[in-house]
A = this chain, B = another copy of it.
Amino acid sequence: MEDKIIELIEKVKKQSPLVHSIMNYVTINDCANVLLAVGASPIMADAPMEVEEITAMADALVLNTGTLKSWSKDSMICAGKVANQKGIPVILDPVGVGASRLRKQTVQDILNQVRITVIRGNRSEIAWVAGVETLSTGVDCFEKSSLEKEIELAKKAASKWNTTVAVTGTVDVITDGNQLIKIYNGTSMLSKVTGTGCMTTALIGAFLAEGTSMTAAVAGVSMMGIAGEIAQERAGSIGMGSFKVELMNVLSQMNGEKIREKLKIEKE
């Protein structure tokens, strides 16, 4: 897997895939910069009138339900259908899905009408996707439970929607229902900066343009984890502002050597 990740990182740098993102407005700038950092070309567009054309020329589609609107729901479903027709991979980030009927209905409709290549979320979000009731606040308010519970949720969601699922948390779990990979990279500092989840999703989007769903998901999640670790070493004691700057620095200079040195994954 390590070699595959490194190869995929190099391929994205070389191919510079166009990633169309229908994003929330909180983290849209950071996600565009993260895509540029790994060599992808971001295009952000969410107007119902133009998403069809823009998805059609993209190499991957990212759907993110933060700061959702009724019209951006329409854009997501339309873009998703075009992606399916054209064989373009789609990643869904069901941000705060439990928080409102609008978000629940949107995620439900997307899952029913669009084949999703990867879903990435925190445990509460993936629990909702798996059909398990939780009290989500958009934040991971799930009661502390075992890694086993997280794996069970991920597998359930993957099987239910016939997709690959990435649950990010203290330990990250990636599964397509059969294969299972646990990632032990990361730092709690990543939860102190808004949008690191969305940025991880964007990274997976870039990797999906050039790789398979399991490899792309593991590459995106582990890259963010490793970048967080290195950023913390460099700026952790200085504060959140410097941590975020270093995170971008490290992402823009990620390479095989750092992956080999830091990657901590476990296959099951």
Residues of A participating in the B interface, judged by any CB pair closer than 8 Å:
18, 24-30, 32-33, 36-37, 41-47, 49-50, 53-54, 57, 66-70, 96, 99-103, 137-139, 192-195, 238-242, 244-253
Contact = CB atoms under 8 A, between A and B. Distances in A.
B49 A102 contact: yes
A37 B247 CA distance: 16
A138 B43 contact: yes
A28 B32 CA distance: 13
Contacts of A44: 24-26, 66-67
B244 A100 contact: no
25 contacts: A24-B44, A25-B28, A27-B29, A29-B29, A33-B244, A41-B138, A41-B139, A43-B99, A43-B137, A43-B139, A45-B96, A47-B69, A49-B100, A49-B101, A50-B99, A53-B100, A53-B101, A54-B99, A57-B99, A239-B252, A240-B251, A241-B244, A241-B247, A244-B245, A245-B245
The count of identical subunits is 3
Q: Which of A45, A96, A193 has the most CB atoms of chain B within a 10 A radius of its CB? A: A45
Contacts of A49: 70, 100-102
Contacts of A45: 67-68, 96, 99-100
The 10 closest A-B pairs by CB, nearest first: A239-B249, A241-B248, A50-B100, A240-B252, A241-B245, A32-B194, A241-B249, A50-B102, A53-B100, A49-B102
Given A26-B44, A192-B252, A50 B103 contact: yes
Given A45-B100, A46-B67, A67-B46, A249 B240 contact: yes
A257 B41 CA distance: 36
Contacts of A239: 246, 248-253
Contacts of A32: 26, 194-195
B50 A68 contact: yes
A90 to B, nearest CB: 18
A98 B43 CA distance: 13
Contacts of A33: 193-194, 240, 244
B25 A47 contact: no
Given A29-B26, A67-B44, A246 B252 contact: no
Contacts of A100: 45, 49-50, 53-54
Given A240-B249, A240-B252, 17 more contacts: A26-B28, A26-B32, A32-B195, A33-B193, A36-B192, A37-B192, A41-B139, A42-B194, A43-B96, A43-B99, A43-B139, A49-B102, A50-B99, A53-B101, A54-B138, A239-B246, A245-B245
